[in-house]
Chain A
Amino acid sequence: MSDNAYEAIIGLEVHTHLMTRSKLFCGCSAGFGAGPNENVCPVCMGMPGVLPVLNRHAVELAIRAGLAAHCEIAPESIFDRKSYFYPDLPKGYQISQYELPLCKGGYIELPAHSEGAEPRRIRLTRIHMEEDAGKNIHESGASLVDFNRSGVPLVEIVSEPDIRSADEAGAYLRELRSILRYIEASDGKMEEGGLRCDVNVSVRKRGAAEFGVKTEIKNLNSFRFVEKAIEHEVARQIDILEAGGRIAQETHLWDPVREVTRPMRSKEFANDYRYFPEPDLPPLRVPPDLVEAIKTAMPELPADQRARFVRELGLTAYEAAVLTQDRDLGAYFETMLAAGLKNHRTAANWVMTEVLRVVNEAARPLADAAPLAIESGELLKLVETGAISLNAAKTAFAAMCKSGKGADATVAELGLAQVSDEGAIAAACDQVIAAEAAKVAEYRGGRDKLFGFFVGQVMKAMGGKGNPKVVNEILKRKLSG
Chain B
Amino acid sequence: MTSELNRMTIAEARDGLARRDFSAIELTRACLEQIKLVDPKINAFITVCAHEALEQAAAADRRLAAGDAPALCGIPLAIKDIYATRGVRTTCASKMLENFVPPFDATVIARLREAGAVFIGKANMDEFAMGSSTENSAFGATRNPHNVERVPGGSSGGSAAAVAADECLGALGTDTGGSIRLPAAFCGVAGIKPTYSRVSRYGVIAYASSLDQVGPFAKTVRDAAILLRTLAGHDPHDSTCSARPVPDYEAALTGDVRGMRIGVPKEYFGAGMEPQVETAIRAALASYERLGATLVEISLPHTEYAIAAYYIVATAEASANLARYDGIRYGLRVEADNTGELYNRTRAAGFGAEVKRRIMLGAFVLSAGYYDAYYLKGQKVRTLIRGDFDRAFARCDVIATPVAPTTAFKIGEKMADPLQMYLSDIFTISVNLAGLPGLSIPCGFDSDGLPIGLQLIGAPFAEETILRAGDAFERTGAITRRAAIL
Contact = CB atoms under 8 A, between A and B. Distances in A.
A427 interface: no
B479 interface: no
B420 interface: no
A272 interface: yes
B240 interface: yes
Interface string A137-167: 0000001010000000000000000000000
Contacts of A47: 84, 102-104, 330
A51 interface: yes
A52 B326 contact: no
Contacts of A45: 329
For the residues of B in contact with A, the DSSP-based class is: loop
A48 interface: yes
A91 interface: yes
B319 interface: yes
B177 to A, nearest CB: 15
Nearest to A281: B239
B445 interface: no
Contact of A274 (B83, B100, B208, B366): B366
Contacts of B266: none
Interface residues of A, number: 30
Interface stretch (A79-87, A202-210, A301-309, A343-351): A79-87
For the residues of A in contact with B, the DSSP-based class is: loop
A439 B451 CA distance: 128
A340 interface: no
A90 interface: yes
A404 interface: no
A53 B363 contact: no
A477 B179 CA distance: 107
A50 B203 contact: yes
A276 B106 contact: no
B287 to A, nearest CB: 39
Contacts of A93: 320, 323
Interface in A258-308: 267, 272, 274-276, 279-282
A283 to B, nearest CB: 11
Given A53-B236, A276-B366, A91 B330 contact: no
Interface string B164-207: 00000000000000000000000000000000000001111110
A37 B242 CA distance: 33
Contacts, number: 104
B320 A276 contact: yes
Contacts of B317: 276, 279
Given A47-B330, A51-B237, A51-B238, A280 B209 contact: yes
Contact of B363 (A51, A52, A274): A274
B460 to A, nearest CB: 15
A46 interface: yes
Nearest to B363: A274
Given A47-B84, A93-B323, A42 B104 contact: yes
A46 B240 contact: no
Interface string B372-410: 000100000000000000000000000000000000000
B343 interface: yes
Q: How large is the interface on B (under 10, 10 to 19, 20 to 34, 35 or more residues)?
A: 35 or more
A54 interface: yes
Interface in A56-108: 81, 83, 85, 87, 90-93
Contacts of A83: 319-320, 323, 366
Nearest to A267: B340
A93 B325 CA distance: 12
Contacts of A90: 324, 328-329
A49 interface: yes
A347 B100 CA distance: 65
Nearest to A26: B237
A48 B205 contact: yes
A48 B84 CA distance: 8
B99 interface: no
B209 A48 contact: no
A52 B203 CA distance: 11
Contacts of B236: 53
A47 B322 CA distance: 11
B104 A51 contact: no
Of listed B84, B92, B317, B323, residue having the most chain A CB within 10 A: B323
Interface in A395-443: none
Contacts of B279: none
Interface string B355-377: 00000000100111001000100
Nearest to B104: A42
A49 B202 CA distance: 6
A91 B324 contact: yes
Contacts of A267: 340
A282 B104 CA distance: 24
B323 A53 contact: no
Contacts of B209: 279-280
Contacts of B363: 274
A48 B100 contact: yes
A282 B239 contact: yes
Nearest to B84: A49
Contacts of B84: 47-49
A25 B336 CA distance: 32
B97 interface: yes
A46 B330 CA distance: 10
A13 to B, nearest CB: 20
B90 interface: yes
Interface of A: 42, 45-54, 81, 83, 85, 87, 90-93, 143, 145, 267, 272, 274-276, 279-282
15 contacts: A48-B92, A48-B100, A48-B102, A49-B201, A51-B239, A53-B238, A53-B239, A83-B323, A87-B326, A92-B326, A145-B328, A274-B367, A279-B210, A279-B317, A280-B239
Query: Nearest 6 pairs between A and B by C-beta?
Result: A92-B323, A279-B209, A274-B366, A279-B210, A48-B205, A49-B203
